[in-house]
Amino acid sequence: MIVLGVESSCDETGLALYDTERGLLSHALHSQVAMHEEYGGVVPELASRDHIRRALPLLEHSLSKAGIAKNDIDAIAYTQGPGLAGALLVGSSVACSLALALDKPVLGVHHLEGHLLSPLLATERPDFPFIALLVSGGHTQLMRVDGVGRYTLLGETLDDAAGEAFDKSAKLLGLGYPGGPAISRLAEFGDPKAYTLPRPMLHSKDFNFSFSGLKTAVLTVVKNHEEKVIANICEQDKANIARGFVDAIVDVLVAKCVNALRHTGLKRLVIAGGVGANRQLREALNAAAAKRKFRVFYPELEFCTDNGAMIAFAGAMRLEKNPDLAVRDYAFNVRPRWPLDELEAA
């Protein structure tokens, strides 16, 4: 069964073809980072319009790379939510219109389920059950994953997600957008002893997170700097602040993951989402895994951010378990707010 995946939840347009027998056939992705950089963040209207321009050329590229025709597609999966409403509508309309024209069934996929299952696309893939840390620009959640559609929320952020804290703190340091990769690179040159920033909820009795206070701590450091103006802070001091921030956020994420594993008795940890590409986080988790005898799995770097491959794969996994999920009802709807715990098991 060949499934076409369409992803358009935010600022990446992704299309991919997954075959349940041969694996991932092709994928194509266009990032809007350069377009939104001028505005310091995602502009929803611009994102939607760009998805319209990119979707069909990416489809043709994916088909050509896979060496198949449109009629070879057996089903089409698209991101139904959560995400930006306008952006979701573009992807869903493209998917459903194409399905109608080809007389193929369609399936709406939960964006976060795509991220949770994306490590299964890697060569070294985890078996169920496992603990998953979903950590991205809009979400920070710890989940117990017992199978496709079988997710138990253990904890989540009470305010800013980790990715939001990265972007906002980077902006305070004058690093621009997107801030996550920039502040992580700068932190590599920082002195870990220069600034000790708070580790919010590090010792709480639950698995929830809070990163708003950490972002505020970075703001306080910047405001209290003797030069007062961020442009005049020397590059070394910026690096020191970045190092203090990254160390704090990594310490919290690693501690919560270790506690979740201990609480459940599981020995497999999966990291999903854009922040999962962070080098410092991966190094700290690998060290913790070696010390505490658990295994940690990551998506391929190209599948950490939003992409069509994870949507095609998630759709294929659901259809393998229940072919009746794919329908020929093309009156689509999107769900900009869609809690993962409302998702039914396949």
Token look-up 């299952």 returns 117
**Does the CA dihedral 251-252-253-257 come out positive or negative?**
positive
β partners of residue 24: 18
- For the chain, list the strands marked E by DSSP: 2-7, 12-19, 23-31, 75-81, 106-110, 130-135, 140-147, 150-156, 268-272, 295-297
Token look-up 């002893």 returns 193
pLDDT at residue 315, as a whole number: 98
pLDDT at residue 40, as a whole number: 85
Cβ atoms within 10 Å of 22's Cβ, excluding its own: 10
pLDDT at residue 188, as a whole number: 95
pLDDT at residue 219, as a whole number: 93
pLDDT at residue 345, as a whole number: 72
Could you tell me the two tokens for 84?
């930006």
- Kindly give the confidence (pLDDT) of every residue in the chain, 346 residues in length, as a single tens digit, with 9 standing for 90 and above: 999 999 999 999 999 999 999 999 999 999 999 999 988 889 999 999 999 999 999 999 999 999 999 999 999 999 999 999 999 999 999 999 999 999 999 999 999 999 999 999 998 999 999 999 999 878 899 999 999 999 999 999 999 999 999 999 999 999 988 888 999 999 999 999 999 999 999 999 999 999 999 999 999 998 887 555 555 578 899 999 999 999 999 999 999 999 999 999 999 999 999 899 999 999 999 999 999 999 999 999 999 999 999 999 999 999 999 998 888 989 889 999 998 888 877 6
pLDDT at residue 228, as a whole number: 53
Could you tell me the two tokens for 159?
């305010």
The domain defined by 2-117+303-342 folds into Nucleotidyltransferase; domain 5 (3.30.420)
Query: Which residues fall within 8 angstroms of residue 299, CB to CB, at 6 or more apart?
Result: 118, 119, 121, 122, 271, 272, 276, 310
Buried b (16+ CB within 10 A) or exposed e, 123-140: eeebeeebbbbbbbbbbb
Distance between CA atoms of residues 45 and 133, nearest Å: 30
Helix (H, G, I), strand (E, B), or coil: what is residue 53?
helix
Q: SS3 breakdown of the chain: % helix, strand, coil, rounded to 5?
A: 50, 20, 30
Largest CA distance in the chain: 66
What is the location of CATH 3.30.420.40 in the chain? 2-117+303-342, 127-298
Distance between CA atoms of residues 160 and 245, nearest Å: 14
Give the containing element (helix H, strand E) for 148: none
Q: In what order do the strands lie in the sheet with 140-147?
A: 150-156, 140-147, 130-135, 268-272, 295-297
Distance between CA atoms of residues 261 and 53, nearest Å: 44
First-to-final CA distance of the chain: 17
Burial of 179 (0-12, 13-18, 19+ CB in 10 A): buried
CATH 1.20.1050.140 fits 127-298, yes or no: no
Token look-up 């496709």 returns 148
> Shortest CA distance to 258 belongs to which of 299, 289, 298, 297?
289
pLDDT at residue 325, as a whole number: 87
pLDDT at residue 243, as a whole number: 97
φ, ψ (nearest 5 deg) of residue 339 = -60, 135
Burial of 152 (0-12, 13-18, 19+ CB in 10 A): middle
Could you tell me the two tokens for 111?
């964006």
pLDDT at residue 232, as a whole number: 56
Distance between CA atoms of residues 181 and 278, nearest Å: 7
